[in-house]
């Protein structure tokens, strides 16, 4: 179970970490809000335009004409294929949007250059461009022309710098054009830059198709909502309204295909029947003239009622057989799966009518899908198979119907022959004339039947209605733009402005392996902590006797802590070693200032520089000496006084510098003269401060560690990696550095008390009356 106090300290630590970097949060917020402000200032506003339509269902029109309803059920009005999802796909098709783009001339746009950006003029543009090339060429272009209005009569092309008059033919890279002005517009001012952008129709249509959102109002609803976002309100309204109009035109054209095909078929048949009827009439006239058959009333009694019925049946059967032949011939001549079959021919066999109707349904569906697909589409392949199967079934039904009709006609003829033989008294000539009359009646009946169907087709073509019933024409949802939204953007700026520095600080802290604070150090090294030394802005390397800086206060605190830790030592002299893991951690700086701090308390102090590889003490104290410790060890003629340097202005501080850098530092420090040196100086000084080499790099310090009363292990804040402190941990656990303590150098304290005590000399003077 976690300690509540520890959890609270952890929270406070994290809070302090972010609070200490509050300036970065402020800078981040200022930048984010500034970017949002600039974006809002120059962003293109988007407005929402909507329209609502209802997909019509023509079932309510049943009963207008009993047989005409079959034709009305074709195309997009066929209930099986009139789902809302299908109509939405049609509305989204590229062909419809291409038609809208060309109808509204959207591929030619006019822009007026403002102070920062250009804005489009849709209604009554300031100029109008007229092309001499064909529309098909212009619609495939992607280019722009920029001109400057020089005066009310002239303009200048920006690219070439050439001037032209408004209204004259001007040569351009896209061909000759004529540009006419419209100075009634407020934007049309002298000096204005106008850009005419010509876009590829297909590319522009694809862009608008992706921008338009079409969806049903609800489940199982036939009402469709059309939404478009566009920066120009009137253009957006025109696009939506034109899309609905083009959709209705497309539906009407598809619905009229069957009606037109049926009309053409009937007209062709009428021409043939009219010619045949004319031949029969001429033959009957000739027979009457040749045989002088003028009064047939006296012979009518020989026709029995049964013969009349048989004759009527023969006429009906022959008519059906003739229609079957016509339909069979038409199927052979039009074997393409994309061809429709004449409908509404009223065959006695209802299966033929049903098969014809289903075949046309499939063909229209196939042709509609094929407009936005290819023959390899699985749906097209499936429909082709169904159409072929339907044609086979239709041919089979026609063949069966013809066979049964022929059998019935043969039977009727036999019966008629039997009855005719009974009328023995009828002259042979009259029987011949009766055959002619029968043929004449058949042709007349077929001719009148086709005339009736032609009239019905004409009526069907005349009552064609649109598929989309407009509920709401295109309208603006709100006068306020839907984008950009100030509230959302500023909220996003606030969130991003906080999250960026938050995440950055967190990741930097997560990836940072440096020691920064006392708490960081104690987590890794459970070694007695003697103090920390803050960074100083003072360029001086050493502290002064009268010094109220945080650094001087820190050394006084460390001095007191050392006295406390060594108060049980009986010897008068106390030897303090200064070491670290690696170079550049502040050993020499700490040694020099600690020795100086002890000397200011009027204690006799000796500073010995045993870091003979990279000596720095002489530089820090501005001393001049050519000999030192290494010279004393190697030259027995030199005494301790010969290598001891007095610090000017400080009678309590002496220094033994490192001396000449030798080729064998480690072997040199193993000399017996080192032991005699320490034994001698301990009798003369109160404190001996020894600046040693880094234990993580060389063994020099360990060779002379037996003379130490206290080891101060320097850890440089924001410098050393935590993973390198295993050396200090090993030294402490193995007791290789006697009485080992740690000191954190180069810390930065920004909150709390810090080193605030006595850091104001003017305040000190007031307190002591100076």
* pLDDT tens-digit series, residues 731-743: 899 898 989 999 9
Distance of alpha carbon 354 from alpha carbon 309, whole angstroms = 29
Residue 359: closest CA among 345, 376, 373, 375: 345
- List Cβ neighbours of 604 (8 Å cut-off, separation of 6 or more): 652, 684, 685, 686, 687
pLDDT at 374 over 60: yes
Confidence (pLDDT) at 139: 84
Confidence (pLDDT) at 463: 62
pLDDT at 459 over 80: no
Average pLDDT, the chain: 81
Q: How confident is the model at residue 767 (pLDDT cuts 50, 70, 90)?
A: very low
Residue 344: closest CA among 327, 366, 321: 327
Residue range 650-663: average pLDDT? 90
Confidence (pLDDT) at 514: 82
227 strand-pairing partners: 50, 213
| Residue whose pair of structure tokens reads 């976002």 in the numeric block | 229
pLDDT exceeding 70 applies to what percent of the chain?
A: 85
Among 369-373, 578-582, 602-606, 696-700, which is the least confidently predicted range?
A: 369-373
Q: How confident is the model at residue 99 (pLDDT cuts 50, 70, 90)?
A: very high
pLDDT at 706 over 80: yes
Q: How confident is the model at residue 234 (pLDDT cuts 50, 70, 90)?
A: very high
Among 181-185, 238-242, 449-453, 730-734, which is the least confidently predicted range?
A: 181-185
End-to-end CA distance of the chain: 57
pLDDT in tens, 137-165: 888 888 889 998 888 888 998 888 888 98
Confidence (pLDDT) at 294: 53
pLDDT at 243 over 90: yes
Secondary structure string (H, E, C) spanning 256-303:
HHHHHHHHHHHHHHHHHHHHHHHHHHHHHHHHHHHHCCCCCHHHHHHC
Strand boundaries in 635-707, DSSP class E: 645-646, 653-656, 687-691
Confidence (pLDDT) at 134: 82
Confidence (pLDDT) at 183: 66
Residue 309: closest CA among 428, 174, 412, 394: 412
Confidence (pLDDT) at 292: 54
pLDDT in tens, 37-94: 998 888 888 999 999 999 876 444 443 334 444 444 443 334 444 478 888 888 888 8
Element at 591 (helix H, strand E): helix 587-600
Q: How confident is the model at residue 579 (pLDDT cuts 50, 70, 90)?
A: very high
pLDDT in tens, 307-341: 778 878 888 888 888 888 888 888 887 777 777 88
Q: Across 112-126, 279-293, 525-539, 630-644, which has the greatest mean pLDDT?
A: 630-644
| Residue whose pair of structure tokens reads 């034709």 in the numeric block | 71
Q: How confident is the model at residue 7 (pLDDT cuts 50, 70, 90)?
A: low
Torsion of CA 236, 241, 242, 245, to 10 degrees: 170
Q: b/e map of 79-91 (b: 16 or more CB within 10 Å)?
A: eebbebeebeebb
pLDDT in tens, 105-129: 999 999 988 777 888 888 888 888 9
Token pair for residue 177?
């054009």
Token pair for residue 549?
């800086």
3-state secondary structure of 680: helix
Distance of alpha carbon 296 from alpha carbon 98, whole angstroms = 71
More confident residue, 232 or 664: 232
Distance of alpha carbon 531 from alpha carbon 528, whole angstroms = 9
Residue 594: closest CA among 569, 573, 576: 576
Residue 590: closest CA among 611, 567, 563, 617: 617
Confidence (pLDDT) at 753: 38
645 — phi, psi (to 5°)? -115, 130
Strand pairing class (710-716; 687-691): unpaired
pLDDT at 405 over 70: yes
Residue 228: closest CA among 100, 58, 324: 100
pLDDT at 660 over 60: yes
Residue 242: closest CA among 470, 402, 75: 470
CB 216 within 8 A of CB 223: yes
Residue range 589-618: average pLDDT? 91
pLDDT at 360 over 90: no
Distance of alpha carbon 379 from alpha carbon 697, whole angstroms = 79
Could you give the count of Cα atoms lying within 13 Å of 634 in the half-sphere of its Cβ? 16
Distance of alpha carbon 237 from alpha carbon 99, whole angstroms = 16
Distance of alpha carbon 188 from alpha carbon 77, whole angstroms = 50
Residue 614: closest CA among 666, 661, 580, 664: 661
Output the DSSP codes for 554-582.
HHHHHHHHHHHHTTT--SS-EEEEEEESS
DSSP class of 659: -
Residue 112: closest CA among 173, 174, 184, 189: 189
C-alpha separations of 28 from 25, 491, 509 in Å: 5, 14, 18
Sign of CA pseudo-dihedral 19, 21, 27, 29: negative
Its pTM stands at 0.56
Confidence (pLDDT) at 1: 40
Q: b/e map of 299-316 (b: 16 or more CB within 10 Å)?
A: beeeeeeebeebbebbbb
Q: How confident is the model at residue 477 (pLDDT cuts 50, 70, 90)?
A: confident
| Residue whose pair of structure tokens reads 């029947």 in the numeric block | 273
Distance of alpha carbon 353 from alpha carbon 748, whole angstroms = 97
Residue 691: closest CA among 603, 753, 606, 607: 607
Distance of alpha carbon 400 from alpha carbon 394, whole angstroms = 10
């Amino acid at each position: 179970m976690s300690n509540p106090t520890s959890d609270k300290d952890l929270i406070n630590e994290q809070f302090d970490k972010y609070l200490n970097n509050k300036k970065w949060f402020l800078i981040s917020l200022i930048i984010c809000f500034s970017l949002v402000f600039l974006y809002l200032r120059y962003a293109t506003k988007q407005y929402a335009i909507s329209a609502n339509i209802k997909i019509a269902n023509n079932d309510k029109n049943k009963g207008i004409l009993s047989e005409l309803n079959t034709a009305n059920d074709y195309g997009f009005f066929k209930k099986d294929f009139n789902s809302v999802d299908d109509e939405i796909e049609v509305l989204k098709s590229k062909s419809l949007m291409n038609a809208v783009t060309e109808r509204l001339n959207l591929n030619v746009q006019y822009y007026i250059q403002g102070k920062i950006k250009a804005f489009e003029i849709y209604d009554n543009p300031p100029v109008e461009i007229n092309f001499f090339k064909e529309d098909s060429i212009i619609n495939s272009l992607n280019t722009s022309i920029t001109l400057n209005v020089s005066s009310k009569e002239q303009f200048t092309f920006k690219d070439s710098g050439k001037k032209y008059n408004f209204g004259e033919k001007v040569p351009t890279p896209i061909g000759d054009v004529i540009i006419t002005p419209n100075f009634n517009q407020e934007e049309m001012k002298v000096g204005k830059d106008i850009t005419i952008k010509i876009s590829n129709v297909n590319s522009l249509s694809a862009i608008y198709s992706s921008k338009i959102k079409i969806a049903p109002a609800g489940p199982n609803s036939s009402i469709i909502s059309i939404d478009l976002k566009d920066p120009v309100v009137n253009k957006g309204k025109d696009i939506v309204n034109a899309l609905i109009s083009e959709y209705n035109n497309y539906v009407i054209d598809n619905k009229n295909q069957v009606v037109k095909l049926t009309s053409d078929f009937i007209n062709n048949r009428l021409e043939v029947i009219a010619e045949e009827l004319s031949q029969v009439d001429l033959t009957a006239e000739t027979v009457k003239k040749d045989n002088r058959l003028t009064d047939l009333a006296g012979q009518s009694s020989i026709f029995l009622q049964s013969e009349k019925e048989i004759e009527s049946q023969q006429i009906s059967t022959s008519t059906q057989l003739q229609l079957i032949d016509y339909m069979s011939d038409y199927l052979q001549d039009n074997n393409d799966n994309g061809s429709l079959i004449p409908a509404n021919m009223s065959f006695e066999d209802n299966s033929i009518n049903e098969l014809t109707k289903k075949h046309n349904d499939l063909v229209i569906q196939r042709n509609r899908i094929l407009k936005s697909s290819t023959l390899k589409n699985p749906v097209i392949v499936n429909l082709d198979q169904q159409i072929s199967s339907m044609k086979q079934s239709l041919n089979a039904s026609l063949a069966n119907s013809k066979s049964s009709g022929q059998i019935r006609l043969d039977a009727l003829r036999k019966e008629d022959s039997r009855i005719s033989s009974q009328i023995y008294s009828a002259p042979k000539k009259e029987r011949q004339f009766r055959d002619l009359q029968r043929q004449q009646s058949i042709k007349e009946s077929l001719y009148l039947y086709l005339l009736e169907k032609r009239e019905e087709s004409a009526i069907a073509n005349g009552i064609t209605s649109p598929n989309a019933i407009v509920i709401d024409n295109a309208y603006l949802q709100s006068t306020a733009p839907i984008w950009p939204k100030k509230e959302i953007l500023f909220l996003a700026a606030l969130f991003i402005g906080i999250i960026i520095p938050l995440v950055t600080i967190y990741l930097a802290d997560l990836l940072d392996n440096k020691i920064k604070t006392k708490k960081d150090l104690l987590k890794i090294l459970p070694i007695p902590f003697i103090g920390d030394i803050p960074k100083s802005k003072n360029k001086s390397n050493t502290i002064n006797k009268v010094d109220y800086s945080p650094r001087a206060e820190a050394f006084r605190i460390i001095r007191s802590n050392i006295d406390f830790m060594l108060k049980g030592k009986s010897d008068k002299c106390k030897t303090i070693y200064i070491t670290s893991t690696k170079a550049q951690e502040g050993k020499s700086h700490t040694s020099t200032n600690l020795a100086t701090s002890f000397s200011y308390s009027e204690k006799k102090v000796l500073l010995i520089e045993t870091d003979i590889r990279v000596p720095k003490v002489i530089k820090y104290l501005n001393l001049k000496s050519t000999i030192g410790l290494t010279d004393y060890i190697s030259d027995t003629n030199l005494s301790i006084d010969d290598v001891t340097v007095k610090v000017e202005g400080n009678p309590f501080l002496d220094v033994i510098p490192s001396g000449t850098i030798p080729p064998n530092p480690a072997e040199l420090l193993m000399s017996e003269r080192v032991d005699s040196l320490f034994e001698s100086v301990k009798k003369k000084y109160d404190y001996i401060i020894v600046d040693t080499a880094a234990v993580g790099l060389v063994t020099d310090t360990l060779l002379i560690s037996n003379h130490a009363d206290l080891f101060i292990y320097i850890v440089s804040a924001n410098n050393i990696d935590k993973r390198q402190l295993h050396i200090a941990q090993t030294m402490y656990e193995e007791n290789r550095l006697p009485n080992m303590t740690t000191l954190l150098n180069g810390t930065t304290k920004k909150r709390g008390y810090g080193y605030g005590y006595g850091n104001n000399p003017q305040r000190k003077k007031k307190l002591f009356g100076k």
